[in-house]
Amino acid sequence: MASLRARVLSWPVVLAIAGALVLAELVLPRLRGDSNELTAADKSFMKVCRDHGGTPKLAPGSGDYVKDARYCEIVYGGDRYEMYAVHPEGFSDREAADAHRSCLAQAEQERRQPEDGPAATPRRFTWHPRSAICEKSHGAD
Domain boundaries, the chain: 1-35, 40-136
User: What contacts 81, CB < 8 A, 6 or more positions away?
Assistant: 73, 74, 75, 131, 133, 135
Mean local confidence (pLDDT), 79-91: 91
Sort 70 into a burial class: Cβ within 10 Å, 0-12 / 13-18 / 19+.
Answer: buried
Please state, in angstroms and rounded to a whole number, the distance separating the CA atoms of residues 96 and 94. 5
- Please report which confidence band the pLDDT of residue 32 belongs to, taking 50, 70 and 90 as the band edges: low
Q: Render pLDDT for 118-131 as a digit per residue (tens, 0 to 9).
A: 888 889 999 999 99
Please state, in angstroms and rounded to a whole number, the distance separating the CA atoms of residues 51 and 46. 9
pLDDT at 10 (0 to 100) = 76
Distance of CA 28 to the CA centre of its chain: 26
Q: Cα separations (Å) of 103 from 2, 48, 110, 139? A: 82, 22, 11, 16
Q: Render pLDDT for 63-83 as a digit per residue (tens, 0 to 9).
A: 555 555 788 999 998 899 999
